[in-house]
Amino acid sequence: ENAKKNAPCIISIDEIDAVGRQRGAGLGGGNDEREQTLNQMLVEMDGFETNLGVIVVAATNRPDILDAALLRPGRFDRQVYVTLPDIRGREQILNVHMRKVPIGQDVNPGIIARGTPGMSGADLANLCNEAALMAARRNARTVEMQDFEKAKDKILMGPERKSMVMPEEERRNTAYHESGHALIGKLLPKCDPVHKVTIIPRGRALGVTMSLPAQDRYSYDRDYMLNQISMLFGGRIAEEVFMNQMTTGASNDFERATQIARDMVMRYGMTESLGPMVYAENEGEVFLGRSVTKTTNMSEQTMQKVDSEVRRIIDQQYALARSLIEEHSDKMHAMAKALLEWETIDGEQLDDIMAGKAPRPPKDWTPRTPSGGDGGGGGTPAVNTEAAPAAPTAA
Which active-site residues does the annotation give?
178
Compute the residue count for the chain.
Answer: 395
Among candidate residues 333, 373, 372, the one with its CA nearest the CA of residue 353? 333
Residues with Cβ < 8 Å from 222, sequence gap 6 or more? 264, 270
Torsion region of 373: left, alpha or beta (phi above 0 gives left; psi -120 to 50 gives alpha) = left
Among candidate residues 105, 99, 130, the one with its CA nearest the CA of residue 116? 130
End-to-end Cα separation, the chain, in angstroms: 61
Measured CA to CA in angstroms, residue 201 lies from 28, 172, 249 at distances of 45, 13, 12
Helices (DSSP H) in the chain: which residue ranges?
2-5, 33-46, 87-98, 109-114, 121-137, 145-157, 168-187, 222-238, 251-266, 300-327, 329-342, 347-354
Encode 32-54: b = buried (16+ Cβ within 10 Å), e = exposed. eeebeebeebbeebeebeeeeeb
Contact at 8 Å (CB) between 380 and 123? no
Measured CA to CA in angstroms, residue 24 lies from 17, 21, 53, 284, 290 at distances of 15, 10, 33, 14, 9
Report d(CA 224, CA 91) in Å as an integer. Answer: 27
Encode 93-125: b = buried (16+ Cβ within 10 Å), e = exposed. bbeebbeebebbeebebeebbbbbbebebebbb
